[in-house]
Amino acid sequence: MERLTLPPGGAAAVDEYLEYRRIVGEDDGGKLFTPEEYEEYKKKVLPMRLQNRLFVSWRSPTGMDCKLIGPETLCFCTHRYKQHKTDFETVPQQRPIELPCRVTGCQCKAYHYVPLNGTQPVRCRCKHFADQHSAALGFACNSCSKCSGFHSCFTCACGQPAYAHDTVVETRQERLAQGKPVGRDVPYAAMGGLTGFSSLAEGYMRLDVSGIGAPSVAVLDSPVSATDHPFLRALQMPSTSASQTLTDGNEGPSTQISSLRKPEEDDMAYFERRYQERIKMEKSAKQKGKALLPPGTKPS
């Protein structure tokens, strides 16, 4: 068996490429930016991405976020979330916010999640699969004439039928107003509703109705193994990160951008660690029966 070998500095180059890809997403149109274009892109896009992030989830009529949409999550149009428009210079005023597909020729006007039945697309009441329907408004079936538009009776893990759910696109403020988690600011493209490791679990696996709560600390701290989701494995923290000191929790977008090139720790791992530490702190504060202190204040 042949082994993959990397030239000296090769691993760092791979890390740099992965970082580039997470930040740029599909925005380079498949042709790598030059270093100058990349710098220019970051200067232009990152501030608006951090300020105008839109959170996307698939919500049950009970208010539970059954699915948090991530960059790779498929749309009804068969394209991924990251292939849709996700960055806005100013947040649109109209509701619902529509995130159209950017793939040439695709008629999808708004990102629209459809659940999978295991690894299979779900069926419409016309018996044809979701991907046999048109992505244009009306969602007519391409394979029969009796379909009045895609309608799935597939039952979600929450017990409600798929058709009773909505794909919800909301701002940070709208999400906070509902008591939903927003996680840390991240510079990456098309993060959708992902706010932490537990976002990858289905709503009912996050074990609460609101979507606010997190699994026990023991679950969160268990080591990432080879059987875990590739996303988790990719984000596995280097052991050196545990000894890093924390910075003040009030940094704005500008300092977060400047911390992009932290050498020992992946940004996502950094933000995730900070997020989980805060959850732990809040938990232990609750357990002691104390009121939650705003960040930065010292308990008297």
From the CB of 206, what's the least distance to Zn ion, in Å? 12
DSSP codes joined into one string, 250-287: T--HHHHHHGGG-SSS-HHHHHHHHHHHHHHHHHHHHH
Per-residue string for binding with Zn ion, 157-186, x by CB under 5 A?
A: -x----------------------------
Q: How far apart are CA 299 and CA 24, in angstroms?
A: 42
Any contact of residue 45 with Zn ion (CB under 5 A)? no
Residue among 97, 108, 122, 257 that touches Zn ion (CB under 5 A): 108
Segment interacting with Zn ion, rule: CB under 5 A, options 23-31, 88-96, 128-136, 254-262: 128-136
113 vs 271, beta carbon nearer Zn ion? 113
Helix (H) or strand (E) holding 120: strand 120-121
From the CB of 63, what's the least distance to Zn ion, in Å? 10
Question: What distances in angstroms separate CA 139 from CA 66, 108, 131, one per listed residue?
Answer: 22, 10, 10
117 vs 259, beta carbon nearer Zn ion? 117
Give residues 54-83 in contact with Zn ion (rule: CB under 5 A).
60, 66, 75, 77, 79
Q: How far apart are CA 272 and CA 170, in angstroms?
A: 21
**Residue 272: alpha-carbon gap to chain centroid:** 12
From the CB of 131, what's the least distance to Zn ion, in Å? 11
Per-residue string for binding with Zn ion, 19-38, x by CB under 5 A?
A: --------------------
Burial of 201 (0-12, 13-18, 19+ CB in 10 A): middle
Residue among 50, 91, 106, 201 that touches Zn ion (CB under 5 A): 106
Question: What distances in angstroms separate CA 45 from CA 48, 54, 84, 238, 276, one per listed residue?
Answer: 6, 14, 16, 28, 27
Any contact of residue 198 with Zn ion (CB under 5 A)? no
For the record, the structure tokens of 128 come out as 């044809």
Residue 226 neighbours by CB under 8 Å, 6+ apart: 233
Per-residue string for binding with Zn ion, 143-162, x by CB under 5 A?
A: xx--x--------x-x----
24 vs 158, beta carbon nearer Zn ion? 158
From the CB of 106, what's the least distance to Zn ion, in Å? 3
Beta-carbon neighbour count of residue 61 at 10 Å?
11
144 vs 212, beta carbon nearer Zn ion? 144
From the CB of 198, what's the least distance to Zn ion, in Å? 16
Question: What distances in angstroms separate CA 66 from CA 209, 244, 245, 294, one per listed residue?
Answer: 9, 34, 35, 30
Residues that bind Zn ion (CB under 5 A): 60, 66, 75, 77, 79, 101, 103, 106, 108, 124, 126, 128, 141, 143-144, 147, 156, 158
